[in-house]
């Protein structure tokens, strides 16, 4: 899994919008409260894990800040996705 995370970080360095954008109405309140986020993205890593990040910066400097790495079950719970 560590190799997969490192690979995804390299992808984010090249393109911060590499991941899937999470709609604003799905952003958990804990991320807004703890990290003051107004945008959230996810990248799938090996083993059905998810890397959650936000993008901050200006036209000159763009920072992709990794906030969390969670498994699929915890991701679904955190983002309130229901099982089908």
Tens digit of each residue's pLDDT, the chain (84 residues): 889 999 999 999 999 999 999 999 999 999 999 999 999 999 999 988 999 999 998 777 888 899 999 998 999 999 888 765
**What residues have CB less than 8 Å from 2, skipping those under 6 apart?**
none
- pLDDT at 57 (0 to 100): 86
Query: Checking DSSP bridges between strand 20-22 and strand 62-71, what pairing results, if any?
Result: unpaired
- pLDDT at 24 (0 to 100): 94
CB 62 within 8 A of CB 14: no
- pLDDT at 84 (0 to 100): 57
């Amino acid at each position: 899994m560590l190799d997969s995370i490192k690979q995804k970080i390299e992808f984010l360095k090249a393109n911060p919008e590499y991941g899937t954008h999470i709609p604003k109405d799905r952003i958990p309140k804990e991320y807004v409260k703890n990290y003051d986020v107004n945008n959230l993205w996810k990248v799938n890593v090996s083993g059905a894990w998810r890397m959650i990040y936000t993008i901050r910066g200006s036209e000159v400097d763009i920072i992709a800040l990794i906030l969390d790495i969670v498994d699929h079950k915890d991701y679904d719970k955190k983002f309130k996705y229901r099982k089908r």
